[in-house]
Amino acid sequence: MAEETELDERVDRWLKGRIKGTELYGLTPDLMKSLAEHGYMLYEEGKYDRARVIFEALSAVNNADSHYQKMLGSIYQIQGKLDAAYYHYTQSLKGSSTDINVIANRGEVLLHLKRPREAAEDLKKAIQMDPAGKNPVGRRARILLAGLNVQRWAPPSS
Amino acid sequence: MKAGRSTDGVVYPDVGHQISDLVSQQPDDAQQAEQSRAIEPRQRIDEFQSVVGSAFPKLDRLTKKGFQPLSDLGFIPRPPGWNANPAIFHDPKIGAALRELASSLGSETKLQELADDLVADSQEGPVNMQHFVTSNFGGMVFPAGPEAEDDPVRYAGERSLHTLDELRNTLFDARAGSQEKSSALLQFRAKLGSLGTLGEWIQNSFADMDYLELSRVKTPLLC
């Protein structure tokens, strides 16, 4: 009962803008990091829906963390929600603009969204970040860009 | 050894002469050396490659030779500093914090009631994706809205980049338009739903763990 009263008080303070969402639910930085690590483990195991639950909740209280945003972008891309993936990748790049994985993945998303010019910009940027072709994501970007160029010169389908 | 009847009544054949014959027929050293040479493994010739080579086109053979791996679709590597083997439900400190979080997420009904009240008062309008992204987003905004089969709250939750704090500010902002407020409310409900699902998931995970622990204690040892 006392806990509920305390929670109600916190809600009131939050509604008045005195505390943040993280304080409202007691989401400390350590707890959020632990949840994110667990979410990544689920993601690695291919349990995308469960991982999504974690990252959606974390980004509901903190949209400035580029890691949460890129994880959501990746999950939505894998699940075929391409516009949602694009929004989260773009938001992630606001926090870390040189993440080659996010740039190449966003390029691929744009390719599927029929935005070849914007896709080519991202893919070129990813290739420039991996000039020696040592990074698997850089190699993927090379192949996607090559495919894009082939499509450009291909005769129009009847 | 001569054939004879043993005490249990079984007749065994006399094989003594065969043993002595085998001993007398042992090969000499030269013969033995020749035999050991004969069983030496031959130099292996890979006949498979030539067959494969003739069957595949030149491009395929080139790509198969030293072709380096590509990343998987949409893959994001683990961010640096993130623990590869987290055990959040087993760590006493984090476990306690998680139970507290699940409890507050589960018992918090005031915001949900507020959202329900606001829904009753609001007028539904078409979804404007511009309201889903932050003010300094800096990217494209796709005009598509939810399809008929999509759950609008789910759709909003997947695309919204706002936090609960930002949505609260919009909902209580006197300058915000009705369409903006309606959009903020949709996202607000989606965010509350996400947090509620997280709370349920944590509670269920702990319930599963407690059940397993209880059954382990109750089950007698079989060995």
Residues of chain A above pLDDT 90, percent: 87
What is the pLDDT at residue A56? 98
Residue-wise pLDDT tens digits, B9-22: 777 777 666 665 65
B92 at A interface, C-beta within 8 A? no
Q: Which ipTM did the prediction report?
A: 0.91
Quick one: DSSP state of residue B73?
T
CB contact under 8 A, A37 and B82: yes
Are A63 and A69 in contact, with CB atoms under 8 Å apart?
yes
Interface test with B, best of A30, A40, A62 (most B CBs within 10 A): A40
Would the pTM count as exceeding 0.95?
A: no
Q: Where are the domains of chain B?
A: 112-214
The domain ranges of chain A are 18-97, 98-158
Chain-centroid distance, C-alpha A100: 13
| pLDDT tens sequence for chain A (158 residues) | 566 688 889 999 999 999 999 999 999 999 999 999 999 999 999 999 999 999 999 999 999 999 999 999 999 999 999 999 999 999 999 999 999 999 999 999 999 999 999 999 999 999 999 999 999 999 999 999 998 887 776 777 65
Q: What is the pLDDT of residues B46-97, one digit of tens each?
A: 555 555 555 555 555 555 566 678 888 999 999 999 999 998 999 999 999 9
**CB pairs A-B closer than 8 Å:** 167
The CATH superfamily holding the domain A18-97 is Tetratricopeptide repeat domain (1.25.40.10)
Three-state DSSP at B4 gives strand
Quick check: A126 contacting B, CB < 8 Å? no
* Helix or strand holding residue B12 (H, E): strand B11-12
Q: Does residue B78 sit at the A interface (CB-CB below 8 Å)? A: yes
